[in-house]
Amino acid sequence: MLIMKYLNNIKLSLVTAVFVCTGTVFTGCEDDLTISGSTDKLETVDGVYGYVRSAAGARELTPITLFGDKAGTGHLFFELTKAAEQDVTVTFKIDKDALEAYNEANNTSYEMYPVDKLSLANDGKITVKAGEKKSASMELNINAGGTIGTTYAVAVSATADGGATVSTNNQTYIYLVKPQPAYPVRGTARDVKTLCFVEVNNENILNCGEYTMAKDGTPFFDVVSIFAANINVDSKTGRAHIFCNDQVSFLLKNADQIIRPLQAKGIKVNMTILGNHDESGMSSLSKEAAEDFAKELKAYADIYGLDGFDFDDEYSNYSENPSPGFEERSSANYCRLIYECRKIMPDKLLGIYEYLLYDAPNGSVEGKSAGELVDYMCYGTYQRYAKGREENFTGLPKSKYGPYSLKINNEYNGGWSGFNQETIQNLKDAGYGLQVFYNPEPRIYSYDHYFTAVSKVLYNDEVEWTGKYYNRTDFTSIQGTKLAYESYLGEWAATSSNSLYIYIDEDNNPRWWDWSGSQKFNVRIEEKEAGKSYYIYGWGTYPEITEKYPLVAEYDAVKGYISIYPQVIHEGDAADPETWEVHWGTYAGSGANCYWRAYPQYANYAIEGSINLDGSFGLVGVGNRWGLDPYHEVDGTLVVPHMDVKYHITENYTLVKN
């Protein structure tokens, strides 16, 4: 019976790997691989067992996506449980019978991919060399020819020339290959492209697809880079290999739900390779090691459908006495790696992140300069404009350099800190070809106002946000709140991050203290001048004053922010001769002389903030123990209405709609 041929234990190893095309994704980096059944136990019994595995740590049911008329490639290798005593020749074969056996065993009905579109490199022959446990990678070439949306399967069997037994638990491997439409192409080519590095330990790259150009609906971002997988020394082999942490592995396992939607919008998705505290790194690989590492990168690109790689030569611990396969750090070694990558991945993007000059490829290899080999390079010191820096790199034109990288996380106030629109204009006018963004936090900030400030200069267009965002592991979006003038109107419950109060100590002396923590109060925000300003009623420690005489807040239409500055809220008149002014204040005095002192010299400092995606918004003050309060003048001194309050409300504020 056919199925028995593939399910019984087989001496001299008939090994079956089945590659199935469908839409589900289960992938992972090599360290995250799970083999069906236990291969460790096989090492404790007599004999040598062999089995087929996928490169790039791909699990069963991993899809290989074909885009339009582009071909796809699977990468297989043969691994033994013990080192081979002699060369073992393995022959892979495209095998329809193996697919039928898989369908019968698993109650599936996968259709064979057109056989005339399939081929194996080197006629399917590969060798496990004596003294080693695994073969080199074998490429399964899958040419375009299937129907988009149809599920196919390709079964590949392998035979070895002796000495290996295969457990029934390890006979079947499933690749999922899914024909997809070709990438959409931007109608008008951009002189300056946009690249965004996303810290996937915290954020979801799907958020980058929610920002589009107002005129034609195309994506704001050209390239999104998964930050980051690592280059590390494999403790078993001593060679450099790719390591993926749990967050990167999750993304690759779910490429259909996370990577493909961006590509379907026309956004290219790269993966960044980052050093990781051992002697392996982009600048230390020997020629042979560079060739080997480039092949592994290609396997990741082919299997997970990546559009390329960005390289960041940080955090490697380069050795002055390198181990075999490694050399002393040099830009020439780095250039060699990029050369090897370009040689076997001519259609993939290769980008460089540098900030020290020597942490980048330089010079030439085989007549190809570093500038010719890379697609782009960017300066990695944030919010600094490095005009002319590209001249340090051999053959690198301005059109391939990004001299002004913008960090857009909370550390830089969503990117506004240090941002200069004139620098964007200078970058464009000077002929640079790349604008880089790093570390967006789209669950904190909606970036449509910020990206518009950039795109008005680069593209004479605005950026729109769909209003949707994703948590790190989400496949479906959450509806957020857009930054708009109208978003701030209404009644709000405000909570301060701190407050101060006067307590009586054991010696019956009044003293200031701030252990009371946050306090709550209610405010009402109404329109003053549409699109420009608001009235805020009931603010802070003295609502009996601010409810009667509201503060005026300004709306910044560029940033989408709201700001409250010190101000006069009431000029004395017949009805109320007192003039009330709002100033920054903090605690002062001691004992019976405790008071809340005004600092009118800080009139240029504001409470500022913006709407959060969940509809709340935060306001940030000038610092701990400082608050905005109403004062009036008594005998030439600014004083608060009275000191008969329990708490003086200070610092920062979170507001939630009532």
Cβ neighbour number for residue 367 with a 10 Å cutoff: 7
Pairwise CA distance, residues 226 & 248, whole Å? 8
Tokens standing for residue 49: 């067992």
Under DSSP, is residue 483 helix (H, G, I), strand (E, B) or coil?
coil
Question: What is the C-alpha to C-alpha distance for residues 405 and 424, in angstroms, rounded to an integer?
Answer: 10
Q: Which of 104, 111, 132, 314 is catalytic?
A: 314
Which tokens sit at 433?
Answer: 């070809």
What gap in Å lies between CA 134 and CA 127, rounded to an integer?
8
Whether the Cβ atoms of residue 209 and residue 262 lie closer than 8 Å to each other: yes
Contact 390, 396 (CB under 8 A): yes
314 part of the active site: yes
* 8 A C-beta contact, residue 76 and residue 54: yes
Q: For residues 73 and 645, what is the distance between their CA atoms, to the nearest angstrom?
A: 73
- For tokens 């240029």, name the residue: 604
Return d(Cα 394, Cα 360) in angstroms, integer: 11
Which has the closest alpha carbon to 312: 349, 341, 279, 351?
Answer: 351
Q: Hey, what are 637's tokens?
A: 């001194």
Amino acid letter, residue 223: V
Q: How far apart are CA 577 and CA 93, in angstroms?
A: 96
Q: Going by C-beta distance under 8 Å and a sequence separation of 6 or more, which residues neighbour residue 437?
A: 194, 195, 196, 197, 405, 406, 407, 408, 415
Strands 10-11 and 165-166: what pairing?
A: antiparallel
DSSP for 201-268 reads TT--GGGGGGEEETTT--BS-SEEEEEEEEEEE-TTT-SEEEE--HHHHHHHHTHHHHHHHHHHTT-E
Active site residues: 314
